[in-house]
Structure 1
Amino acid sequence: MRPSPRLRLLALAALLPLGACSTVVEAVKGPTLAPVGYPAALVPQQQLVLASTTPASANSLWRQGARAFFIDQRASRVGDILTVQIDIDDSAKTTNQTTSTRDSSIAAGIPHLLGLESSLGKILPGGFDPANALATNSKTSNAGTGAVNRAEKISLTIAAVVSAVLPNGNLVIQGTQEVRTNTELRQLTVAGIVRPEDISSSNTIKHTQIAEARISYGGRGDISRVQKTPAGQSLVEKFSPF
């Protein structure tokens, strides 16, 4: 027995709120941290855990915890990790002021027009004077003032993963960091392209040395939700013609 169209509509209406379950849970319990994994550009893989080795003796040339003896430890391959130092202290101030005024006037007459100037007086309304057939006067003025005063200051450190190596040797990096405090989640993401030569001996790089840098610092939670403009109000402000 097939259900009636009315029952199917009721079932569909009952399932619609399930799509917002994650939002409801986040509003009640707070935001949840994303699972730890490789960046999206890398193929997910299982991390191998190696058994600890016997520590080297005090007189050994081998430093405990070192991966290699003479190999450069800076990031150079897909999956390697490097530290990005973000230190933004920028300010911009711009002031613009424009003023323009224009006056124009035109006067024209047709005292003689193939002998038809007398006939025009019969066609046109009374008081027609061929010597003052046309006169215009216009005046326009415009004044505008604008000012921009912006200051940004961010000082953060984040570890990023090499997600690709370009044909010329440059490295594509991306990293994400999440910190949750009570019901507020702070999220920092960074991505871009770096030169291996710009990576310091301590395996760090500055954000000013990242090409195509994409740095995002924000969060979600109770405080961010209260500060955000409601969706309905945003749509009205975006599409309102007034």
Structure 2
Amino acid sequence: MKQVWLIFAMLALVGCTSTPKTIVQGPTTARPVATAPMAGGSGAIFQAGSTGLFEDRVARRVGDILTISIQEKLSASTKSDTKANRTGSMSASANPFSIPYAPGVVDKLGQLSIKTSSGNNHEGKGEATATNTFTGTITVTVTEVLPNGNLAVAGEKQIAIHNEHEFLRFSGVVNPADIKVGNTVSSTKVADARIEQRANGALSAVQEPGWLQRFFLTVLPF
């Protein structure tokens, strides 16, 4: 019985370590607040509850839609080269000497000479380069209007083809001044941007090692 529970614990451990957590937290959509319908038309051109007379049709309220143009390109490179060298030497010598009251004893030892040398050399090199490119578009919803007027947005796009399920998630904070014509904004202008694209299905499953192999990769120290 203990062996069975041990196997279940192993499977749970492997499942927790192999399933990545989503980086987009919170709801990915929001509905606008419902307003009470008007009792009757006033006959004026401007009707209460409609878009302001001098307002552009841009996202500004909870539930409004905004298109994010994902244009992420990250490139990082680092290179280091270290060299260190240290040498040292020491030498000493003494002429024949004699001790009073013992003539002819110590003076036969001849010349005394000591020589030592040491050396230390170190050289190290390292180089790392990473390049990531992510382009595309996703339409998000304003989930919250912050006190300073910025818009918290989030959205999700899911595509299922046969047994393959792919989804794209996005969240961040948008400054209304960065919204262009057509309610679009570049992802490079979004603060706290979180972008993720994942897939679940047969094609993504074959790219991962088996559960037993993942277990040994997790617990083995070498």
TM-score interval w.r.t. the shorter chain? 0.5 to 0.7
Q: Partners in 2 of 1:238 and 1:41 — Cα distance?
A: 33
Instruction: Give the TM-score of the pair, scaled to structure 1.
Output: 0.57
Contact map agreement 2:32 2:63 (CA 8 A) in 1 = no
Displacement after TM superposition at 1:130 (Å)? 8.4
Structure-1 residue corresponding to 2:129: 148
Structure-2 residue corresponding to 1:96: 79
Structure-1 residue corresponding to 2:200: 220
Displacement after TM superposition at 1:162 (Å)? 1.0
Cα separation, partners in 2 of 1:240 and 1:104, compared to 1, 3 Å: farther
Q: CA RMSD in A?
A: 4.2
Higher RCO, Cα 8 Å, sep 6+: 2
Q: Partners in 2 of 1:202 and 1:209 — Cα distance?
A: 16
SS at match of 2:70: strand
SS at match of 1:150: strand
Unaligned runs of 5+ in 1: 1-5, 24-38, 49-60, 62-66, 112-126
Structure-2 residue corresponding to 1:185: 165
Q: Percent identity?
A: 26
Write 1 or 2 for the structure with the bigger share of helix.
Answer: 1
Aligned pairs (5 A) from 1:10-89? 40=27, 68=51, 70=53, 71-88=55-72
Contact map agreement 2:179 2:185 (CA 8 A) in 1 = yes
Amino acid at match of 2:137: T
SS at match of 2:206: helix
Cα separation, partners in 2 of 1:223 and 1:46, compared to 1, 3 Å: farther
1:174 aligns with 2:158: no
Contact map agreement 2:178 2:189 (CA 8 A) in 1 = yes
1:118-165 deviation line (CA, Å, top 9, x unaligned)? xxxxxxxxx9x9874x9451322223142415242x332111111111
Instruction: Give the TM-score of the pair, scaled to structure 2.
Output: 0.61
SS at match of 1:197: helix
1:106-128 deviation line (CA, Å, top 9, x unaligned)? 537798xxxxxxxxxxxxxxx9x
Aligned residues: 178
Amino acid at match of 2:173: I
